[in-house]
Structure 1
Amino acid sequence: MLTASMMAFAQKEVELQEVTVQGSKVVQRVDGQTIHPTRQQLESSTNGYSLLSKLTLPHLRVDPVMHSVTALSNLGSVQVRINDIAASKEDLLALDIKAVQHIDYIDNPGVRYGEGVAYVINIIVKNPVSGYNIGADLTNTLTSVNGDESVYGKINYGKSEFGVNYSLGYQNFEGTEYEEKTTYELEPGTEYNVLRQQLEGQNKSLDHKIQLTYSLSDSNYVFQSKLSAHRDIQPERSLAKFETYEDHSSSRTSSPVLDLYFHRDFKRHQSLTANAVGTYIHTDSYSEHNEGGNYAYNVIGKTYSLWTEAIYENRLKPFTISLGTQYGQKYIDNVYFGDANASNSMRSSMMYFFGQLKGRLGKFGYMGGLGMSTRYYRQANWNDRFLLFRPKMTLAYPLAKHLKVKYDFEVSQHVSQIALVSDVCIKQNAMETLVGNPEIMPNRVTSHDLRLTYSTPKIMSELQGYWRLNANCNMEKYTRQDEHFYQTQTNAGNECSFFFIQSYNRWEVISEHLSATVYGGIYRFFNFTDDYRHTYTAFNGGANIEAYLGKWTLTAYADNGWNFMEGEHRGHQPAAWYLTASYQMKKNITLSLYAQHPFCSNPLRHKTEVLSRYIHKEASQHSRDLGNMLTLNFTWRFSSGRKYREIQRTMNHRDTETGILQSE
């Protein structure tokens, strides 16, 4: 949490030591950017997703209809936060746009954010101290069965705030088409060709979630508690009909989460933060794959986890020092019945320590830190403990008035998903089986990032060169035995690396009325093991145009997806193109119409190619429901007596990993 005195200090630091771009209201920082949305962007935004989509953040795709933020790279995950605490979808839909001060886009996260995080979006909002705020955000697709409804309310009395949020989501996509052409090498010189063509497909879900929040805050402390519960009203179901067989799957999940958070400011710009999150996940799933004969299994899964964090920060004038620790404990009990008969109980624990120093030395901006973690896994007769280190250094220097160079170096470790280290085998079709590998070891990741940024009141242009090396990385491997093929993961002697050169450019064509963004880059991938050597070159890019015309807001966005190669998979995340028109009917009512994939009746949803010495596979999936998709969003907000005092944080650190191994 940032108090009023801390905010004043932070603002002073920005004014004296950073270069502010007045037109686009962007402040370049050592670890990313601070973006001050324009009045037009705030007034035309209906929720957090709507606001983020207008910023056109580099390397990210924000879908305001499906309420998602996707990284267009495989550098790591995306964290969306409100006042530095991870935010849920419900938090973003209920975001008080009037209270937004700025957005910190951190595309070079320090060791403070833990492992596997590539991008952090931190929305800084003011804290209401009086009045109430109620509203509804209703999203419904007109061309298919798809919706996301959310209603919420917050009331402030004295130092306390009470909040409630209820959301209902539903979907029934029936226009799914899947085609797969596979060639199996049964033995040298003998091939077996299979065409799997889906005749009919359906995916449907119906779920709801409620969360209750209470916070107590003053000028120098905040205590917050959140109790949330998610449950599928009906099981999520999937159906795929082929010419001679059918595949079915269903899954029902329920998960309560309790989140407790405390922050205290002390004298001399010091602070202490503590957070504890407890999660329980119950999963009941069923799957059957009937190619070549009946194959069906059930999974009853239970997951218990506890995650805690404590951070000390001292904001001295020449630099800021941060010290902290994270501790996690997780227990998984998944029982497989039927043809995949197995019992998988796993215990894991994690302890992470970090120290970070961030500041300036003359014209140099710097950030340096070291993270160290120890991880423990145990299942059946197998157990292991890993000690992982994460050194990180960033240097920034202004070459000229509008020109800045920045270099980042990091060594980290990649840890596989829990499901991949289980000892369970799942049949995927008549010829293939997915096998977990408990002996997968974490691998070292080394990255170098060099950026040259040019900023003026009208233009921001960035040229980035990035290189990453994954030594002994976890990569997939196909093996053949008795004319059957097993897919698993190993990391003995493997090397996976890639580099890219990308340019990002934003132009304020007419200040506060018309802006344009275009980005693109060349990516080169290398995947080397004892069994194969694969390389791949791809272009990834996109563009965005925003126009603010009084009560109307018009937006056009397009990208070509994300083309990549990892292991024996060459993948293509499909292209996306959206058109948006929003109209502010009244001060508190906004109607928005989203057109996704216009002029395309059956857009690509997923495409992949397997290049194994034993298997060559080309698979693609299309969805008629996503073609010419029209979605209407209705937003209503009403507030009274609202007054703001300081920054407050919203919490949503929760566990979602069940450890269940599933077929693709």
Structure 2
Amino acid sequence: MNAQQITIKGKVIDFDSKKPVEYATIILQTDDSLFIKGTTSGLNGDFILNNLGENNYRIVVHSVGYDTLSIDLFNVFKAIDLGSLMINQKTTLLSEVIVQSSSVIEGSYRKLYYPTKEQIVKSINGLQLTQRLLLPQIFVNTQTGQILYTGEKKLKILINGIEALSQEVIGIQPENIIRIDYYENPGMRYGEDIGIILDFIVKQRTNGAFFSANIRETLTHNFTYGQLSGGINYGKSQIKFYYFLSHNDIETSSFKHQTFLFPSGNTISRNEYGEKNWWKETTKMPNISYSYYGKKNTFNMKTNFNSLFQPHDDHEGKILIPEIDRLTNYKIQNKEQTFRPSIDIYFTRQISDNHLIALNVVGTYSKNTVDYIYNETDEDEIISNITTLVDGKRSSLIGEIFYERKYGENLLSVGLRHIQGYTKNNYSGTSIFKTQLHDAFSYGFLQYKGKIKKLNYTGNIGIHRSFFNQEGIANMYSRWMISPMVNINYILSNVLSLRYSYQLKNINPSLSYLSEVERLRNSYQLDKGNPLLKSYLMHHNELRISFNPSPLRSSLVLSSSYYNSPIMEETSFDNYRDIFITTYNNQKKFHQLRFQYNIGVSLFNNHISINSYGGYNKIVSQGHNYEHRRDEWFYLLQTIADYKKLSLTITMVHLPQPFWGESVSKGSSYNEYILSYRLPKMQLGIISTNLFGEKNRKYTYNFSALTRFKNMQNNVKMFPSFGIYGSINLTWGKQNNEKKQKINNLDSENGILL
């Protein structure tokens, strides 16, 4: 674009009265404050600056009786509409303006992140562009193509307001991403456990087609993931498809030391030497969707055909019991398969500029099978032979209606949601059980977002009813609950803000935990469901201090999560059956204190981008018969270095290991190195994980006084690994802006006790 085509325009508005400010002085400077040109606002507060070249700029707005407003614009390369610039006599405020730069623009409800021209050019897909934007508490896992949230809650990904998988972001052309809307603590409107929403605002094509493909192939062991997406546009309609494939075929070895403490005082130690652990899994996530974007109506229908096929999660080796000097052979064969088709229908009507109503209906059917075989032999003698075969089906229907109204900068949202489900699981083999579960969940919420000068606030109240009924079990579960949530954000300056949030959440028991089912693990222990479980409350408090002077983005987070009567595991010994039983019960409490510091920075004219965080967890898990305390440090460092068409990405990860009840799950710790080269519409690269032999072991712990164990998985056969990566993105056709979907639902329950 040549210099004569670049313009910067906007409108100066009085913050209190919302009226235009006439004859305000607008000065355009370089980023080091050298004067370029000036103008004044018109009768409607409008102004325009023409004939500008590509550069970094500073806009300074003066008016008698008002504070001075200064806005930095970095890497301006095309026309900019700043929107409404709010000024008043007491403080300088900037509402949700539109700025084509990499600066953080913070408004009442969200932060807007605009990619620079350099960031777009250096990225081959939307995933890489997300990396370079250095979004707070967001980590891009290049191993799986996922965008992850580093906080305690969940991340929701939207593309033009329509819920999407994070892998689908790979298929977006970087130049088609207008901006990313970043919602922090979005409230009950999007669900009680959502911490961050990323909404990718993407240009919608009015004709032509698009296609993208990405593949990652590990050469040293069998690990592959790939993605295909494409579509056709015609006027206001779009038909598109998406297909994601992940395949793993991995062999490892392991060592597990477990101690069984009997009431008599006798102790048995089992040392399991896993000489061959074989994990083979294929995940497929295809979908086809149709969208219509009218002037006031939006319609979207998506069909999903997700499937998981795990023919092998097998373990083979020897078991040594020193107390009785016994050495036996064991073999575990575990096969799982899930097919989950669903259809998602969405409709919205824009009644007026300030009124919107939306409807969402999701129907899901799930078919699940599990085959588990455990054999333990001593020469020709069979010590243990356990078989569990599960055939499960679940069908559910989710319906939601949502209404939204704007009052100036304030927003009122009201919604109703109902989920109706039926689950039937048949267990055969060593133990025979049949479970039929009816469940229903009704939920209504009221949410109000407002702004008082430098204070943004969100108030939420939710009322919901949970219902569970298992056929053949006299106990029926039904409970009403009220869940409040509040979020307050105080903008101290253009670069400093303080945020506090509180949530009281009701958590229902998992369907699988409620099943009256037993599953033998081995000859010493079994797992058992508990239909008498009750829902429990979680109190979450969070304080966040954000400091974002360009080019630095940072935040300090202090949080507390307190669970009252949480559902956690417990182990007891059944003297009559002479076996240890692990089940689930409402325990006393679980409390986690978390400290986390996030920092992102671009250096040397964006040639080096660093996104990192580090933190500390302090956890207390208290049951009726146990109390465990755990302290843990965690960190992540991701660095991207660019030189011409070459890019080097280094990721060092030690994520928190999930701890709940008496168990610590395997954490995700690895180092990854990617060297890539950009071609027109294409990128090729080489990948290595744990190149220097680090992080080749993973550990799992259980701290039960009766059945404690420590398990070590040795991955020396996998690392260091080497692989290749390729990506291509092609588009044809014109573009316009796409409307946004407001409601997104899904069902992932299966009710199987594993």
d(CA) in 2 for partners of 1:657 and 1:63?
A: 25
Q: Which residue of 1 aligns with 2:346?
A: 261
Match of 1:221 in 2: 297
Q: Is the 8 A contact 1:65 1:631 kept in 2?
A: no
What is the CA–CA distance in structure 1 between the aligned matches of 2:107 and 2:95, rounded to whole Å?
9
1:104-158 deviations in Å (ceiling 9; x for gaps): 3334231112233333332222222222112322222222212223333211111
Matching residue within 582, 589, 611 for 1:487: 582
1:196-595 aligned within 5 A: 196-231=272-307, 236-243=311-318, 244-291=329-376, 292-380=383-471, 381=473, 382-482=475-575, 483-492=578-587, 494-586=588-680, 588-595=681-688
- For residues 478 and 21 of structure 1, the distance between their equivalents in structure 2, rounded to whole angstroms, comes to 58
Q: Distance in 1 between matches of 2:185 and 2:494?
A: 23
Q: Helix, strand or coil for the counterpart of 1:647?
A: coil
The structure whose RCO (Cα within 8 Å, separation 6+) is larger is: 1
> Contact 1:602 / 1:622 at 8 angstroms: preserved in 2?
no
Amino acid aligned to 1:617: F
How many Å apart are 1:254 and its aligned residue? 2.1
Measured at CA, do residues 13 and 148 of structure 1 come closer, stay the same or move farther in structure 2, by a change above 3 Å?
farther
Displacement of 1:649 after TM fit? 4.6
Whether the 8 Å contact between 1:24 and 1:508 is mirrored in structure 2 is no
Q: Is the 8 A contact 1:531 1:613 kept in 2?
A: no
Q: Is the 8 A contact 1:503 1:519 kept in 2?
A: yes
2:747 counterpart residue number: 655
3-state SS, counterpart of residue 531 of structure 2: coil
* CA 607–461 in structure 1, closer or farther in 2 if over 3 Å, else same: same
- Which of 152, 169, 179 matches 2:246? 169
Whether the aligned pair in 1 keeps the contact of 2:284 and 2:306 (CA below 8 Å) is yes
- TM-score w.r.t. the length of structure 2 is 0.81
Q: 2: distance between equivalents of 1:651 and 1:625?
A: 45
* Other-structure match for 2:265: 189
1:599 aligned partner: 692
Q: 1:54 to 1:194 in 2, by over 3 A?
A: farther
CA RMSD of aligned residues (A): 2.7
**Partner amino acid, structure 2, of 1:643:** Q
Deviation at 1:303, TM superposition (A): 1.0
Question: In the TM superposition, what is the alpha-carbon distance from 1:55 to its structure 2 partner?
Answer: 4.4
| Contact 1:257/1:279 (8 A) holds in 2 | yes
1:523, distance to aligned residue in structure 2 (A): 1.5
Q: Could you say which residue in structure 2 is the equivalent of 1:84?
A: 161
Report the Cα distance in structure 2 between the residues aligned to 1:524 and 1:79, rounded to whole angstroms. 26
TM-score normalised by structure 1 residue count: 0.91
Q: CA deviation at 1:376?
A: 0.7
2:205 aligned residue: 128
Which whole-Å CA distance do the structure 1 matches of 2:646 and 2:520 have between them?
53
The one-letter amino acid paired with 1:615 is: T
Q: Secondary structure at the match of 2:238?
A: strand
Paired residues of 1:410 and 1:447 also in contact (CA < 8 A): yes
Write the letter of the residue equivalent to 1:534.
H
Deviations 1:336-393 (A, max 9, x none): 1111311111111111111111121111111111112111111122321121222111
Would the aligned equivalents of 1:276 and 1:306 in 2 still touch at CA under 8 Å? yes
Q: Identify the residue that residue 724 of structure 2 maps to in structure 1.
A: 632
Deviates more, 1:42-51 or 1:127-136: 42-51
- 2:400–2:415 contact (8 Å) kept in structure 1: yes
What CA deviation, in whole Å up to 9, does each residue of 1:50-69 have, x standing for no partner?
34444455545432232334
Q: Judge conservation of contact 2:361–2:399 (CA < 8 Å) in 1.
A: yes
Partner amino acid, structure 1, of 2:384: G
Q: Of 93, 112, 115, which aligns to 1:37? A: 115
C-alpha contact 2:384 2:522 (8 A) present in aligned 1: no
In structure 1, distance between residues paired with 2:395 and 2:107: 39
For 1:238 and 1:466, the matched residues in 2 are separated by 37
Structure-1 separation of matches of 2:81 and 2:335: 53
Verify the 8 A CA contact 2:161 2:740 in the aligned structure 1. Answer: no
What is the one-letter code of the residue matched to 1:484? I
Q: Percent identity?
A: 23
1:199 alignment partner, SS class? strand
Deviation for aligned residue 1:200: 0.3
- Between structure 1 and structure 2, the one with the greater Rg is 2
State the shift of 1:91 in Å.
2.9
The DSSP-based 3-state class of the residue aligned with 1:245 is: strand
Higher mean alpha-carbon deviation, 366-375 vs 208-217, is at: 208-217
> For 2:732, what is the secondary structure of its paired residue?
strand
CA 1:443–1:409: 2 relative to 1, 3 Å: same
Structure 1 SS opposite 2:419: strand
Q: Report the residue type matching 1:453 in the other structure.
A: S
